[in-house]
Amino acid sequence: MTATLSDLERIKAGSRLLRGTIVEGLADPVTGAISDEDNKLLKFHGSYQQDDRDLRDERRRQKLEPAYSFLIRARLPGGVITSAQWLAFDAIAREYANGTLRITTRQTFQWHGVRKPHLKPAIAAINHAMASTIAACGDVNRNVVCAANPEQSAAHGEVHAWAVRLSDHLRPRTRSYGEIWLDDELVVGTEESEPLYGATYLPRKFKIGLAVPPVNDIDVFAQDLGLIAIIQDGALAGFNVAVGGGMGASHGDASTYPRLGDVIGFVTPERVLELAENVIAIQRDWGDRAERKHARLKYTLDRRGVGAFVAELESRLGFALESKRPFAFEHSGDRYGWIEDHAGRWHLTLHIESGRLADTPPRSLLSGMREIANAHRGDFRLTCNQNLIIANVAATDRAAIDALVQRHGLDGYRRQSGIRRHALACVALPTCGLAMAESERYLPDLLPKLEALLDRRGLLDAPILLRLSGCPNGCARPYLGEIALIGKAPGRYNLMLGADHRGQRLNRLYRENVDEDGILAAIEPLFARYAAERVADERFGDFLLRSGVLPAPRTIPVEAIA
Ligand code: SRM
Ligand code: SF4
């Protein structure tokens, strides 16, 4: 490629494997910020510098620097944590962050509002709890997500183990993380290298997810590398391989778009590490390092062709992928309430609105979960739908957990509407620097209005997938929402409709740049038609296509093969 490399490529190359001048920046007492270059490197360590956007104007008027703070994101492959880890993470939230824990759409925790002097102790505390933040952000393989559905507990154990192995195998090897955050001794004289990534890491972020059909609770086709577990006779036979999923786009730029992954074949479990390593290596070598907007694997595939990619992959692997095996997804949501697994253990899935665990009277979600973690002898699972599973509960402990869940207002799942239980919202304002409109903070205002429209049509229980993102980057995977709002400007959104409920069909633009009145006015008649014309068990997104409200797609990019 002859094009000039993007600035970030230069910064990575000169960073001495992600060191930059982060240590010096953290020590500078004059500002609550670090330099722009260090901020870009900091992402690879699992943190972003932000500022409170609610306070920007006031701080400017007072001639103060912005109210800087840092976001920290943990690396928790498969989203499984112990009670001890929960308690440690809760303490970090209260001691160093803004007193909340945020479950992300990639099955991990974020802490917001961490001031610069607290960044190092907070990251050290996360490591002390036997977790890490390395590569939770940055141009590397991110947190590996995997199915959380307790109905599939036997398969979950096996698939989760692969998520952990993939996460470890693809972790950056730089010693800078230990030096900066954990006071590791500088090792002089020994060679330090990044055997997979090289000194400039990947052209862009890379995401892996493992799904276990029939539940697509991780949105496997939104991953750069999606692995679809094929269970035969109760055992894991291997994985169908999907490549090139991704959600991010920019308004008004048709060269950027959401894309669903292509299923290119099947591999047995023992080959999955080399498969992932080689997919990443091709993206490392072929990805666009000049224009970051076009640097994700999905664009590499569309530029070079899926066929050429598979040929290169097979040549590097030294073997051909097997033919993809039959699979079928039924839905992409979580199933709430108690479930008993094959081994007689119980699992309770709770709905956590936008994944935010906070104490906001009359509910005390953060304190409630602390009390539960103090008593709970099993573990916890975070889901990619921003929810929470209290996992591996003995039958005799269920009543005590139920009582705590109820006392702290964690039992919303019992009475919530279908649309509320299936809603996702990204963080957006006030912390996200890229937000164009509210998302997490808008959801509680919007939901009652949608619920009123649904109630009028007898549709309160309809499990409609609603997804809100404050900008087109798509952190709530909005292009897979049956209804989605994508922020354009304060109070204005693009209304997208018509994805399916299995994560296999993208939605499309229905109304551009509308305010709340415009959104409700557009949706109300569709709910009326849905109530009157739907056939048995027909989901809202499918109805919109069958009824002709939306034109049939030219092709449905991903169809289950039976
Ligand atoms: Fe995201 C950037 C939050 C999942 C696509 N995302 C951001 C940043 C860091 C903003 C920034 O760069 O300054 C947001 C921080 C906001 C804040 O204050 O917390 C942010 N993304 C999130 C989270 C917390 C949303 C949530 O509400 O849960 C999710 C954290 C995931 C994690 O634990 O790792 C989150 N982001 C996603 C997903 C969903 C997924 O991965 O399943 C996507 C779409 C899938 C994809 O990657 O294509 C996503 N985030 C983006 C993008 C667009 C990437 C692209 O290819 O265009 C950006 C912007 C960027 O990278 O330049 C972005
Ligand atoms: Fe921020 Fe946009 Fe992601 Fe929402 S979708 S968290 S507004 S980058």
* 427 pocket-lining for ligand 2 (C-beta < 6 Å): yes
pLDDT in tens, 97-106: 999 999 999 9
Tell me how far apart the alpha carbons of residues 282 and 544 are, in angstroms, rounded to a whole number.
Answer: 39
Q: What is the DSSP letter of 74?
A: -
* 473 pocket-lining for ligand 2 (C-beta < 6 Å): yes
Question: How far is residue 361 from each of residues 87, 267, 353, measured CA to CA in Å?
Answer: 21, 50, 15
CB 103 within 8 A of CB 386: yes
CB 473 within 8 A of CB 434: yes
The predicted model gives 485-501 an average pLDDT of 98
Specify the residue with its C-alpha closest to ligand 1, atom 19. Answer: 427
Assign 111 to helix, strand or coil.
strand
- Whether the per-residue pLDDT at 163 is higher than 50: the answer is yes
* Residue 170 CA, ligand 1 centroid: distance in Å: 20
Tell me how far apart the alpha carbons of residues 280 and 283 are, in angstroms, rounded to a whole number.
Answer: 5
Q: Is 163 exposed, middle or buried (0-12, 13-18, 19+ CB in 10 A)?
A: buried
pLDDT in tens, 187-225: 666 678 999 999 999 999 999 999 999 999 999 999 999
Tell me how far apart the alpha carbons of residues 244 and 116 are, in angstroms, rounded to a whole number.
Answer: 36
Which range (198-202, 339-343, 452-456) has the least confidence? Answer: 339-343
Give residue ranges with CB within 6 A of ligand 1.
Answer: 48, 50, 71, 73, 104-106, 108, 110, 142-143, 207, 222, 246-248, 296, 355, 426-427, 431-434, 473-477
Higher pLDDT, 234 or 45: 45
Single out the catalytic residue among 40, 102, 106, 207. 207
State residue 2's pLDDT score: 52
CB 351 within 8 A of CB 339: no
DSSP labels for 175-235? SHHHHHHH-PPP--SS----TTT-TT--SS-B-EEEEBTTB-TT-GGGSSEEEEEEEETTE
CA 90 distance to own-chain centroid: 20
* 439 pocket-lining for ligand 2 (C-beta < 6 Å): yes
* Residue 556 CA, ligand 2 centroid: distance in Å: 27
Specify the residue with its C-alpha closest to ligand 2, atom 2. Answer: 471
* 468 pocket-lining for ligand 2 (C-beta < 6 Å): no
Single out the catalytic residue among 40, 120, 142, 296. 142
* 443 pocket-lining for ligand 2 (C-beta < 6 Å): no
pLDDT interval class at 475 (50, 70, 90): very high
- Whether the per-residue pLDDT at 59 is higher than 60: the answer is yes
Per the annotation, the verdict on 53 as an active-site residue is: no
* Residue 473 CA, ligand 1 centroid: distance in Å: 7
Q: Express as a percent the part of the chain with pLDDT over 90.
A: 93
Mean pLDDT of the chain: 95
Beta bridge partners of 109: 103
State residue 556's pLDDT score: 47
Specify the residue with its C-alpha closest to ligand 1, atom 36. Answer: 475
- Whether the per-residue pLDDT at 382 is higher than 60: the answer is yes
* 250 pocket-lining for ligand 2 (C-beta < 6 Å): no
pLDDT interval class at 156 (50, 70, 90): confident
Per the annotation, the verdict on 298 as an active-site residue is: no
- Whether the per-residue pLDDT at 93 is higher than 50: the answer is yes
Closest ligand 1 atom to the C-alpha of 476?
39
* 434 pocket-lining for ligand 2 (C-beta < 6 Å): yes
Per the annotation, the verdict on 205 as an active-site residue is: yes
State residue 188's pLDDT score: 63
State residue 560's pLDDT score: 42
Which range (284-288, 472-476, 490-494, 557-561) has the least confidence? Answer: 557-561
pLDDT in tens, 238-265: 999 999 999 999 999 999 999 999 999 9
* Residue 222 CA, ligand 1 centroid: distance in Å: 12
